[in-house]
């Protein structure tokens, strides 16, 4: 039987208002899904490692006490959530590169959804792919929900579901429907075709037809729109504002062309600039292939060893 619920949610916590806001969203999801929450705090290994005189790598002797302090804070937070909301909560403290540890723990614990707080970036920072949130989306084996820090999101009543003629565009519905059905959401489907890619029209038409059948079978209240033009990411964000959307669902593709490096790949543009939570879901083949090329001909990205800001 198909699993129609989200059972396990991982929430990275650094005790900032951004991460605690994401936790509140995760709590709302967990209560509707009857899911358990795992809180994860990652101590950045870069901050507690140094090179000795003989050139070897050593760890700051205070690290053990720091781990204990953070574990205590995590336990206090877990108890508070458990008592206030009746949710099963556990907590973990690890040491390492932040995005790597998040992905690793999610994989080892067979997490269904990662919920993490983020804030938009602009200017020179957007030229590079170094934020922890984006690194997690690129490498995670499960969907990732990024939550902006400037508003509370406890229910997803109006969901925007963009459809591009890319591999795995409809796979995201199989997961998103778990949220859509529990929230009794109104779904807004946006078919997108980039200018100059008219040959993909038939693919888009087939995808929209297949999605229509799924929505009818699930009795989802939905509306359909189409867009043809140059900037699909901007169009998605524009529609999210106009339609008063409170959740965006996208296919997280790895758009690593030279041009995209400078203007920002599709997924990064959406996550950076969306004013609402973004549910990023990678297609199954992208998760299974260990080497090869993505849809734009770029080589598969290996897990980065870098740190940054959620």
CB-neighbour burial class of residue 20 (10 A; exposed 0-12, middle 13-18, buried 19+): middle
Find which of 17-26, 49-58, 192-201 is predicted with most confidence, using mean pLDDT: 17-26
What are the angstrom distances between the C-alpha of 200 and each of 195, 196, 228, 231? 10, 9, 11, 16
User: Sign of the C-alpha dihedral, residues 68, 74, 78, 81?
Assistant: positive
Question: Radius of gyration (Cα) for the chain, nearest Å?
Answer: 20
**Domain contains 294:** no
Q: pLDDT tens-digit profile of 103-152?
A: 999 999 999 999 999 875 544 344 343 467 888 988 899 999 999 987 88
Q: pLDDT tens-digit profile of 189-242?
A: 999 988 888 888 888 999 999 999 999 999 999 999 999 888 888 999 999 999
Residue 182 has pLDDT above 80, yes or no: yes
**Domain contains 131:** yes
> Considering the chain, what is the average pLDDT of its residues?
81
Residue 290 has pLDDT above 50, yes or no: no
**Domain contains 256:** yes
28-32, 161-165, 181-185, 297-301: range with lowest mean pLDDT: 297-301
Residue 164 has pLDDT above 70, yes or no: yes
Identify whether the C-beta of residue 292 lies closer than 8 Å to the C-beta of residue 159: no
Range of 87's domain? 8-288
**Domain contains 304:** no
**Domain contains 295:** no
**Domain contains 297:** no
Instruction: Report the domain count for the chain.
Output: 1
Look at residues 71, 113, 107, 105 and name the one whose alpha carbon lies nearest to residue 91.
Answer: 71
**Residue 152 maps to which CATH number?**
3.40.50.12370
**Domain contains 45:** yes
Q: pLDDT tens-digit profile of 61-91?
A: 577 888 899 999 999 999 999 999 999 999 9
**Domain contains 53:** yes
């Amino acid at each position: 039987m198909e699993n129609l619920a989200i059972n396990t949610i991982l929430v990275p916590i650094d005790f900032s208002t951004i991460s605690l806001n994401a936790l509140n969203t995760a709590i709302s999801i967990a209560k509707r899904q009857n899911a358990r929450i795992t809180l994860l705090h990652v101590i950045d290994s870069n901050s507690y490692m140094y090179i000795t005189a003989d050139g070897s790598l050593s760890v700051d002797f205070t690290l053990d006490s720091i781990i204990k302090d953070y574990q205590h804070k995590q336990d206090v937070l877990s108890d508070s959530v458990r008592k206030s909301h009746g949710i099963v909560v556990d907590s973990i403290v690890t040491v390492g590169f932040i995005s790597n540890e998040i992905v690793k723990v999610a994989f080892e614990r067979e997490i269904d959804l990662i919920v993490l707080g983020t804030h938009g970036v602009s200017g020179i920072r957007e030229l590079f792919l170094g934020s922890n949130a984006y690194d997690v989306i690129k490498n995670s084996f499960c969907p990732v929900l990024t939550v902006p820090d400037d508003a509370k999101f406890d229910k997803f009543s109006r969901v925007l579901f963009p459809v591009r003629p890319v591999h795995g565009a409809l796979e995201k519905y199989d997961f998103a429907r778990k949220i859509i059905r529990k929230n009794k959401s109104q779904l807004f489907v946006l078919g997108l075709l980039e200018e100059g890619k008219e040959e993909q029209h038939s693919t888009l038409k087939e995808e929209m037809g297949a999605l229509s059948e799924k929505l009818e079978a699930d009795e989802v209240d939905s509306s359909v729109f189409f867009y043809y033009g140059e900037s699909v990411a901007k169009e998605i964000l524009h529609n999210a504002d106009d339609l008063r959307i409170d959740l965006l669902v996208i296919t997280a593709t790895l758009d690593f062309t030279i041009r995209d490096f400078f203007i920002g790949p599709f997924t990064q543009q959406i996550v950076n600039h969306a004013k609402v939570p973004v549910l990023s879901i990678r297609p199954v083949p992208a998760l299974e292939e260990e080497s090869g090329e993505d849809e734009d001909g770029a080589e598969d990205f290996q897990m980065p060893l870098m740190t940054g800001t959620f």
